[in-house]
Amino acid sequence: MTPTLFFIQALNGLQFGLILFLIAAGLTLVFGVMDFINLAHGVQYMVGAYLVAAFTAWTGNFGWGLLLALPTALAFGLLLEVLVFRHLYDRDHLDQVLATFGVIVFLNQAVKFIWGAAPLNVPVPEILSGSVEIADGLLYPVYRLAIIAAGLAVAGLLYVLVSHTRVGMLVRAGATNPQMVSALGVNIQRLFMVVFGFGAMLAGFAGAMVAPILSVEPGMGDNILILAFVVIVIGGIGSIRGAFLAAILIGLVDTVGRSFAPNLLRFFLDPATASQTGRAVAPMLIYIFMAAILFFRPSGLFPAKR
Amino acid sequence: MTDIAQTRPASFSAPSPRIERVPLVLFLALAAAPVLAPLSGAEGYVLSLLTRVMILGLAAMSLDLILGYGAMVSFGHAAFLGIGGYAVGILASHGVEDALVQIPVALAVSALFAAVTGAISLRTKGVYFIMITLAFGQMLYFLATSLAAYGGDDGMTLSARSVVAGAPLLKDDRAFYGITFVCLLGTYLFSRAVVASRFGRVLRGAKENPIRMEAIGFQPFRFQLLAYVISGMMAGLAGFLLANQAEFISPSFMTWQRSGELIFMVILGGLGTLHGAILGAAAFLLLEEFLPELLHLAGFMLSADLQARLVDNWKMVFGPLLILIVLFARGGIMGLLGRARPERREV
């Protein structure tokens, strides 16, 4: 376990955590404000990735692709809200889980129908290709650094929006006590549309950013959705700060755990058993982590005061 | 309508001694199927489809026991299918092929897993409960994918179905159908007894108002945990049967999507009616099985190419259908059946 390797894994973990945060932010606000469980949030990430793939292929430029993909993802999110989600607000969680499950089934098949089942590749934009030396003999891909920078920038922007603007104030108030906010005469329905569309766009942005480093394929949103739920549950539902912290934690635990669990176990077990158990334990780490946190804090790290 | 009339039905109705029509018809139809199947000309296909319906019906019913009567939304119930399945696969690969060993092991491991994860999950409420059960389900899923010795991601094919006391009783599809039927009927009757007992009433009481239950001297936690363990064991039994039917097991038995499907079956059938869960499983699986066929028929005016595309992408119809069912068929199949009866008024 060299320090260099550790550093690189930590950067990868940070990058993964920031992507998770972009997805979890919309999910946690939608949940906090409308008490709405949206399983289809993951497919919005997938849609973002597909849109950027399509627009990049069309314009031949990743920048233009991204610029076109974002408003399209926003429009798509609003369309889903009007068609499906609007009719589910006064239903219980179970109905919401099931109806949004139907949306997943539909959209996973729809992208297969439109783009085929084979994974798509999005080339890394030329300006951001290659690697830089960030320390002695330590090369790191520029594109991943760009994801980290973009993720941090969006997180910062979101922080300013949520804690220093009027809409942000309403969203925060809505996440803590929606009845009170609507009693004060705010149109919570419209507030929700804003939050929802914005959340869909953030998830789409996350999908678009990872498109060049992952393969774009049907179902790619399904597993990341579960991770985003893990993040918002650990963070405390409705809390942006909680989601940020939990996302970074999960990103680090997952990425660093995967590469170091076998090494750590080597202190206790013989090498062969250690690498085998390590490989088995690594993907489970975050779920163990989540169970442990919820055992001590049943409503997450930063529970909304109700 | 007065308040008293409104509060009466659910909580105060005593378990009625009269035999209900729906479950009677359901089980009679399932019992008659092996006799009628040869008439269809595709006996093997019909029996295997119905066996699958009964196995997943058993799993859905086990979920309904905690979901419908205890309001515990377990989003990781497919994990128990996996435990039951891997009990068969792992034991068989070590030469233990007898169901009389495999079933007790499957039940014991399911009970242990349910007891440990249930005790932790029940500390949380509402959506946190949904998510923590999901997390435990995912844990087991990833454990299964990393079991390289037992197939890992690809799963493992069983060399043969389990034997019962050394006899290859499950080998014949009709006998396997019969045994599955007995398992389903047995667990159904057992579940009914559980629900009607004092235990079941405390469970329902804890669902409606946990504080009231505590005030009159019950600890809801214990009842909920025991119900969770019972439910997990039943689903483990379903996993044993599922592995034997498919003669194959893989981590795909316990993906979160599978858990979602189980919840869907329960809702589709009608929450809180045990036979409703079986009907829901039947409706779900039959829809999945025949929707491509139906689309093929519906597309008779289209060109052959478009027709084929429609059939290939049947899930694009299936998904919206699920949404419409949730939006418009409240109360599920049992709700629809109940509405047809004149004596039961809608409140």
- Mean of the per-residue pLDDT values for chain B? 86
Confidence of residue B299 (pLDDT cuts 50, 70, 90): confident
pTM: 0.86
Residue B11 belongs to some domain of the structure:
no
Model confidence pLDDT, tens digit, residues A31-65:
877 788 898 999 999 999 999 999 999 998 899 99
CB atoms within 10 A of CB A141: 18
Residue B346 belongs to some domain of the structure:
no
Residue B103 belongs to some domain of the structure:
yes
Q: Directed axis angle between helix B43-70 and helix B78-93, to 10°?
A: 130
Model confidence pLDDT, tens digit, residues A223-273:
899 899 899 989 988 888 899 999 999 999 998 888 887 777 777 777 777
The separation between the first and the last C-alpha atoms of chain A, rounded to the nearest angstrom, is: 45
Separation of alpha carbons B245 and B238, rounded Å: 10
Q: Which residue of B139, B263, B314 is the best one to mutate when testing the A interface, meaning the one whose CB has the most A CBs within 10 A? A: B139
Confidence of residue B215 (pLDDT cuts 50, 70, 90): confident
Find, in chain A, the residue whose alpha carbon is nearest to that of B139. Answer: A284
Residue B91 belongs to some domain of the structure:
yes
CB atoms within 10 A of CB B182: 10
pLDDT at res. B342? 43
- C-alpha angle with apex A166: A164 to A171, nearest 5 degrees? 90
Q: Which range among A191-200, B85-94, B156-165, B304-313 has the greatest average pLDDT?
A: B85-94
Separation of alpha carbons B168 and B170, rounded Å: 6
Listed in sequence order, the residues at least 6 apart from A47 whose beta carbon sits closer than 8 Å to its beta carbon are A73, A76, A107, A111, A204, A207
Separation of alpha carbons A290 and A202, rounded Å: 24
- Over pLDDT 90: what percentage of chain A? 36
Domain containing B184 equals 17-31+42-339
pLDDT at res. B11? 45
Per-residue DSSP letters for B99-144? HHHHHHHHHHHHHHHHHHHHHHHTTS-HHHHHHHHHHHHHHHHHHH
pLDDT at res. B9? 46
Residue B318 belongs to some domain of the structure:
yes
Model confidence pLDDT, tens digit, residues B95-128:
888 999 999 999 999 999 999 999 989 988 888 8
Model confidence pLDDT, tens digit, residues A121-168:
888 888 888 888 877 777 888 999 999 999 999 989 988 888 888 888
Q: Find the CATH number of the domain harbouring B60.
A: 1.10.3470
Per-residue DSSP letters for B172-199? SHHHHHHHHHHHHHHHHHHHHHHHHSHH
| Number of folded domains that form chain B | 1
CB contact under 8 A, B321 and A104: no
pLDDT (average), residues B316-324: 89
Residue B55 belongs to some domain of the structure:
yes
pLDDT at B39 over 50: yes
CB contact under 8 A, B322 and A98: yes
pLDDT at res. B184? 96
Instruction: List chain A residues with CB under 8 Å of B86.
Output: none
Residue B37 belongs to some domain of the structure:
no
Question: Among A40-49, A173-182, B50-59, B230-239, where is mean pLDDT lowest?
Answer: A173-182
B3 or A20: whose pLDDT is higher?
A20
Q: Hey, where are the domains in chain A?
A: 11-118+141-296
Question: Among B136-145, B181-190, B305-314, where is mean pLDDT lowest?
Answer: B305-314
CB contact under 8 A, B131 and A230: yes
pLDDT at res. B107? 97
Find, in chain B, the residue whose alpha carbon is nearest to that of A279. Answer: B146
Dihedral sign (CA B144, B146, B147, B148): positive
pLDDT at B217 over 70: yes
Model confidence pLDDT, tens digit, residues A258-270:
888 777 777 777 7
pLDDT (average), residues B125-154: 87
Per-residue DSSP letters for A54-69? HHHHHHS-HHHHHHHH
